[in-house]
Amino acid sequence: MSRVYNFSAGPAVLPEEVLKSAAEEMLDYNGSGMSVMEMSHRGKVFQEIIDTAEADLRELMNIPDNYKVLFLQGGASQQFAMIPMNLMKNKVADYIVTGQWAKKAAAEAAKYGKVNKIASSEDKTFSYIPDCSDLTISEDADYVYICENNTIYGTKFKALPNTKGKILVADVSSCFLSEPVDVSKYGVIYGGVQKNIGPAGVVIVIIREDLITEDVLPGTPTMLMYKTHADENSLYNTPPSYGIYICGKVFKWLKNMGGLEAVKARNENKAKLLYDFLDQSKLFKGTVEPKDRSLMNVPFITGNAELDEKFVKEAKAARLENLKGHRSVGGMRASIYNAMPYEGVEALVAFMKKFEEENL
């Protein structure tokens, strides 16, 4: 067996400990005589898995009691519709557009009501986060929407927007559990787990209880109502049970690491190594406004598309995989999620140094 350093933006690297433990339990989970993917989601064994996963997540994120945790399906993209269907009582929402995912979410919401784009960074290819400390918030807005970490462009909100009392909804797909958050500042926090937490197929939604109502847009399918899932503790229908089990293992792994403060310190260390190198490099250049840099996704370029392609190819040969930038922007991108070890970033920086010497 020989694993590579995998810099994929998602699905992405998972902790080796988690994968090994899942492999050990594959044929016989905890004396049950079967794999978790073979067991009933209505049985006692699975109930304990999902209950423990939720309790560990609540502890990690310090989730207040008046918030529900939902384990759903449909990808983060399904939330682009579920959010307006469930929250757009006045049929108005404010969107801050800092990348393709926020743009897609805004376009989807526009099918259901009026979407006001109250800020955007599209003028500079989404390379920064606009100042959101004093935006004009629509008086009748049902919520203000952000994508907190922009996977493609490598930007992150370092301060939450001032929503002037309106509900904040945040897509945290690519920064989930990468640092502590104050859940009470949000109405809804959600993300696909396939970047920082587990296998594709699970979406976690953390939602304030008073936002879970039957008063949804007419025609909203049963499966797309938060209430359906909240009332049944994510067991209205068959949940993505194996994925939830792996998420639970990752929550334990994060708790053993010392919780989200410790995780943040580790992530800052890893990101610093790469950003410090980029800042002094004569060949490579980061593409993001330094104050808005993500700890998770680090895009960079040489300024020469052919050289970028050569870099990605040679890096792959050196077992540094998935460094090609998103197809919409080109260049390179290193995603250094929680499970990427420090040694992985060291190996990348060493390779970049060597490449720079050979190609400058």
Q: Cβ of residue 147: shortest distance to ligand PMP, in angstroms?
A: 5
As a residue count, the chain comes to 360
Determine which one of 68, 156, 195, 227 is catalytic.
Answer: 195
Q: H helices then E strands: how many in the chain?
A: 9, 14
By CB under 6 A, residue 76 contacts ligand PMP: yes
Q: What pairs with residue 144 in β-bridges?
A: 94, 168
Q: Does 147 bind ligand PMP (CB under 6 A)?
A: yes
State how far the Cα of 93 lies from the Cα of 96, in Å rounded to an integer.
10
- In the complex, minimum distance from the CB of residue 212 to ligand PMP, in angstroms, rounded to a whole number: 22
Angstrom CA distances, 42 to 6, 47, 51, 238, 239, stand at 36, 7, 12, 9, 10
Nearest partner of 137 among 166, 159, 112, 111, judged by Cα: 166
Smallest separation, CB 159 to ligand PMP (Å): 18
Q: Which of 154, 187, 192, 286 is in the footprint of ligand PMP by CB under 6 A?
A: 192
C-beta separation of 220 from 85 below 8 A: yes
Determine whether 171 is an active site residue. yes
Among 138, 163, 173, 322, binds ligand PMP (CB under 6 A): 173
In the complex, minimum distance from the CB of residue 189 to ligand PMP, in angstroms, rounded to a whole number: 12
Near ligand PMP by CB under 6 A, which window of 49-57, 70-78, 299-307, 314-322?
A: 70-78
Task: State the Cα–Cα distance between residues 258 and 77, nearest whole angstrom.
Answer: 31
- 101 has catalytic annotation: yes
204 scored as a contact of ligand PMP (CB under 6 A): no
Residue nearest to ligand PMP (CB): 75
Closer to ligand PMP at the Cβ: 192 or 344?
A: 192
Task: Confirm whether residue 47 is marked as ligand binding.
Answer: no
**CB-nearer residue toward ligand PMP: 113 or 198:** 198
CB nearer ligand PMP, residue 99 or residue 113: 99
Q: What secondary structure does DSSP assign to 165-220, as a single string?
A: TSPEEEE-TTTTTSS---GGG-SEEEEESTTTTS-TT-EEEEEEGGG--S---TT-
Asked, as a colleague might, if the bond just before 11 is cis with ω within 30 of 0, I would say: yes
Q: How far is the CB of 84 from ligand PMP (least distance, A)?
A: 15
Q: Is 227 a catalytic residue?
A: no
Question: Binding site annotation covers 42?
Answer: yes
Tokens linked to 67: 């918030």
- 241-256 vs 16-24: helix crossing angle, rounded to 10: 130
132 touching ligand PMP, by CB under 6 A = no
- Identify which of residues 151 and 163 has a Cβ nearer to ligand PMP in the complex: 151
Q: Which residues are designated catalytic?
A: 101, 171, 195
Site residues (vs ligand PMP, CB under 6 A): 10, 75-77, 101, 147, 151, 171, 173-174, 192
